[in-house]
Structure 1
Amino acid sequence: MPTIHFLTSEKSMEVPEEANILRMSLRYDGELPNRCGGGICGTCVCKIEQGAENLDKVKVQEKRKLGEEWLEKGYRLGCQTFVKEGDVEISWDEEVTKQVKRRKPDKIKKEVSSSGTR
C-alpha cells in the first residue's frame, strides 16, 4: 500500500491505491487545509515534495486554479489529486495558500477541431 507523508503536520498514513489526498487527510487527520473539496477555492493546495510520478494526471480544475506557474513549481490541489501507486510526500504553506486562494481561475481554451467543418 502507498504511504502519504504529510510533512507539515508530521503525519504519515498507508492508503489504498487510487486514494484521494484530501479525503485521506480528512479521514486520518492529516491536517491538510481544506474548504470546498471541488477544486474551486484553492485551500488544499500542496507541494509534492517527493513521489509526483506516483500521482494521477493534473485535472482541468487544477490547471484553471493553479495555472502553469504553480503547477511547474510542483503544486497540486489535494482535492483533485489521487495516489496511483508508491509513496508521496507533501507539504503546504500558509502564504502559498493565501496567494492561490486569491488567484482568479484561468480560462481553458477549447481545442478547435477542423475535421468535419466545411
Structure 2
Amino acid sequence: MAQITFITNDSQVVEAPDNSNLLRVSLREKAGIPFKCGGGLCGTCKCLIEQGIENMDKIKPKERKHLGDADFEAGYRMACQAFVLGGSVAVSWQKKA
C-alpha cells in the first residue's frame, strides 16, 4: 500500500493500492486536487510532489504538453497522469482564489 499526504487539504493522509492514479485517489478520498478534464488535456491538475518523487511513475507525453523541464525538475506533475508506485508521497497544489 502507498501512503499519500494531501498537504493542501490539511495534510490529509490516505492509503491507496500501489500503482494508484493520484487524481483518482484524490477524488475517492475527497482530497481536493483541482481538475477539469481528468484526461491530460487541460493541465488543471498540476500539483507539486513535495516528498517521495522517487515513488512516482515516469513522466507521460501528455504532461510534457503542459509542463516544462523546469517544472519536472521542481517536482511538478499532472495528477491525472501520475501514478504512485508505492511507498510514501506528499503532494500540494494551488488553491483557487
Any conservation in 2 of the 1:44–1:77 contact (CA below 8 Å)?
yes
**Which is strand-richer, 1 or 2?**
2
Once the two structures are superposed, residues 10-65 of structure 1 have per-residue CA deviations (whole angstroms, 9 ceiling, x without a partner) of 21110000100000000110111111011111111000000000010000011111
Q: Which has the higher contact order (CA 8 A, sep 6+)?
A: 2
Structure of larger gyration radius: 1
SS where residue 31 of structure 2 aligns? Answer: coil
Deviation at 1:71, TM superposition (A): 1.3
Any conservation in 2 of the 1:12–1:30 contact (CA below 8 Å)?
no
Q: Between the two proteins, what is the percent identity of the paired residues?
A: 48
**What 5-or-longer segments of structure 1 have no aligned partner?**
96-118
Q: Distance in 2 between matches of 1:25 and 1:53?
A: 19
- For normalisation by structure 1, the TM-score amounts to 0.77
Q: List 4+ stretches of structure 1 deviating above 6 A.
A: none
Aligned to 1:37: 38
**Which is helix-richer, 1 or 2?**
1
Alignment of 1:37-116 (within 5 A): 37-94=38-95
CA RMSD of aligned residues (A): 1.2
Q: Distance in 2 between matches of 1:2 and 1:94?
A: 24
SS where residue 67 of structure 2 aligns? Answer: helix
Aligned to 1:116: none
Q: Distance in 2 between matches of 1:59 and 1:69?
A: 15
- For normalisation by structure 2, the TM-score amounts to 0.92
